[in-house]
């Protein structure tokens, strides 16, 4: 077998940062063997004993914050201030499960005619995590922390453009005192993934990535009868009604669209605005988008480059093809000529179904705006999508918005007068082409466990 050379390219300069050699199939099997034996010991620890390791992990994350943020920024282009915020969020995550994980895992008594009957939550074994580059620390720990807290061990196959971050994550677990093998990073490319999923020591796989990757991994999980969790793409609709606070709504919508240079599955992507307020909303939206400055990944940068050249070029093609169908550029829309992979904040007006920027996920700083006349029309257009990750509603009529969110909007999360985001306390995941299963909260913790019934007559 020919093994790949994995390369990290600095997206701000287009220059090579470092090359990594893919590990061999033999080395991979040795790692799986080691991870399995680590699991056999780790699973026997009391929940509260495991929790102490995560308390230490939060401390190590704080100590290594600057190193982690710098590596994140260099490898995928996130401005340092945003990379630092990502580390901070992971600290909160680790502390959350250190405190609440043992409570979530306590046996649950169920009243029956038996002397005793209850449910106990037992770990499964090795769980494979296939993770993306856009939040290279958060996405991994969002999956790994609850999975390991439940008593499993984890193998990480990270995106090849963030190998440095992947190796630092393994070092975090080592410095926190976790038994060797409980968390392992493997530097491999796609062809070796099937051998991991097929391995008898591996009992589940969690993927965050594209719809195409999700379909491929789901097929492999089905082939080998392994539990799978998929967190895929989104084309989140944000519906702004006529009674919304325009200034606050615009601020929230723009913030959501521009987080991580728009490279976020749950960022706002399609904006449906009541025709009564679409003109002032759009004018203010454009003004707010103009405030984002294209720079490198320095601490003062408001928007960094996109992570890869092919991603930037694909986004620009979506814009160009939409213009050919009648969309209007209200801001940006031109690919910069530079060594880095920058793309300007772009606002597209007169967006409609049938246009690329409306029908497909736009993974970058491009916002598509359209108007509606009735609530029924807004919901019809918003829900006419294969995706179902998140959505947001803006209105002063909270009672009506809550009814719409609960019964009419088909998505994994619906936020009212705020932008969609993940929170350790709340379950996170989508429906339809956005995937299935949940991460975070007690729901995410229990995805990779055997919900075992004990019955004593």
Q: H-helix or E-strand containing 376? A: helix 375-383
Q: How far apart are CA 140 and CA 392, in angstroms?
A: 26
Alpha helices by DSSP H, listed for 292-397, are 309-324, 356-359, 375-383
Active site residue 231: yes
Angstrom CA distances, 29 to 24, 165, 204, 209, 390, stand at 9, 23, 17, 25, 38
Cα 286 to the center of its chain, rounded Å: 27
Which residue is catalytic, options 22, 75, 170, 231?
231
Give CA separation, 256 vs 190, 249, 266, 329, 396, in Å. 31, 11, 8, 20, 20
Exactly one of 90, 163, 261, 265 is catalytic; which is it?
A: 265
First to last CA, the chain: 56
d(Cα 37, Cα 181) in Å, to the nearest integer?
8
The bridge status of strand 449-456 relative to strand 346-349 is unpaired
CA distance 94 to 398: 33
User: Which H or E run contains 128?
Assistant: strand 126-130
Write out the two tokens for 430. Answer: 């989508």
The bridge status of strand 15-21 relative to strand 202-208 is: unpaired
247 touches 284 (CB < 8 A): yes
**Tokens coding 232:** 């895929």
Pairing type for strands 126-130 and 153-157 reads parallel
Compute CA 201 distance to the chain's CA centroid, rounded to the nearest angstrom.
26
The residues annotated as belonging to the active site are: 231, 265
């Amino acid at each position: 077998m020919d093994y790949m050379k994995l390369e990290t390219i600095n997206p701000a300069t287009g220059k090579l940062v470092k090359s990594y050699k893919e590990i061999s199939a033999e080395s991979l099997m040795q790692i799986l063997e080691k991870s399995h034996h680590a699991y056999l010991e780790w699973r026997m620890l009391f929940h509260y004993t495991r929790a102490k390791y995560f308390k230490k992990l939060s401390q190590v994350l704080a100590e290594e914050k600057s190193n982690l943020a710098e590596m994140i920024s260099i490898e995928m282009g996130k401005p340092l201030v945003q990379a630092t915020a990502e580390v901070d969020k992971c600290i909160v995550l680790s502390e959350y499960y250190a405190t609440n994980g043992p409570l979530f895992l306590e046996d649950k008594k169920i009243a029956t005619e038996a002397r005793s009957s209850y449910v106990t939550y037992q770990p499964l074994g090795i769980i494979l995590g296939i993770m993306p580059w856009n939040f290279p620390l958060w996405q991994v720990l969002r999956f790994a922390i609850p999975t390991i807290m439940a008593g499993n061990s984890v193998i990480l196959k990270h995106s090849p453009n963030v190998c440095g971050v992947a190796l630092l994550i393994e070092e975090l677990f080592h410095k926190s005192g976790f038994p060797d093998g409980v968390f392992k990073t493997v530097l491999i490319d796609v062809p070796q993934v099937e051998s991991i999923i097929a391995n008898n020591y591996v009992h589940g796989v969690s993927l965050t990535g594209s719809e195409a990757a999700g379909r491929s991994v789901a097929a492999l999980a089905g082939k080998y009868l392994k539990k799978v969790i998929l967190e895929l793409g989104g084309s989140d609709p944000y519906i702004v009604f006529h009674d919304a606070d325009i200034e606050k709504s615009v601020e929230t919508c723009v913030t959501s669209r521009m987080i991580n240079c728009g490279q976020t599955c749950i960022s706002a992507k399609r904006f449906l605005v009541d025709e009564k307020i679409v003109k002032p909303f759009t004018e203010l939206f454009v003004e707010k988008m103009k405030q984002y400055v294209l720079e490198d990944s320095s601490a003062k940068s408001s928007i960094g480059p996109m992570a890869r050249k092919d991603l930037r070029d694909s986004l620009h093609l979506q814009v160009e093809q939409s213009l050919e169908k009648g969309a209007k550029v209200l801001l940006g829309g031109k690919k910069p000529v530079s060594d880095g992979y920058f793309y300007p904040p772009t606002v597209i007006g007169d967006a409609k179904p049938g246009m690329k920027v409306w029908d497909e996920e736009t993974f970058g700083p491009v916002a598509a705006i359209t108007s509606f006349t009735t609530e029924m029309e807004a919901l019809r257009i918003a829900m006419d999508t294969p995706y179902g990750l998140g959505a947001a509603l803006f209105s002063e009529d909270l009672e009506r918005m809550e009814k719409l969110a609960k019964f009419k909007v088909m998505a994994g999360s619906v936020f009212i007068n705020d932008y969609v985001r993940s929170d350790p306390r709340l379950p996170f995941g989508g429906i339809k082409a956005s995937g299935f299963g949940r991460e975070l909260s007690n729901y995410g913790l229990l995805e990779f466990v055997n919900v075992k019934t004990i019955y004593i007559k």
